[in-house]
Amino acid sequence: MDINNIILYAELTEKDLNILDKHNKVVFIVNRNARKKEIKDSVEKLFNVKVEKVNTLIDSNGNKKAYIKLKKDYKAQDILSRLGLM
């Protein structure tokens, strides 16, 4: 799978902002067929960061959410700043 087709967009709700501040995690809506390893590699290449852990779930709308926890050396807010969301 092409890395440009894995991450669809960042999600930014009030709950996501709390997760961002408390746990250094970013929430992305990703391709439903993407695996955790592909999501991790895609985030690391696109944003030049190191990912510690990826958790995924399918929400009630049928979208696949990926919770990306970054290593301590990197800040999740920087990713959202690069995307122009913060």
**CA-CA distance, 21 to 63, in Å (whole number)?**
23
CB 65 within 8 A of CB 11: yes
Q: Does domain 3-82 bear CATH number 1.25.10.10?
A: no
Residue ranges of the domains in the chain? 3-82
Cα–Cα distance between 36 and 43 in angstroms, integer? 11
48-69 pLDDT tens trace = 999 999 999 999 999 999 999 9
**What local confidence, expressed as pLDDT, does residue 25 receive?**
93
Tokens of 71: 């290593």
Distance CA 3, CA 74 (A): 21
Taking 50 as the pLDDT cut, the residues of the chain under it are none
Give this prediction's pTM: 0.89
71: CB partners within 8 A, 6+ apart: 49, 50, 51, 52
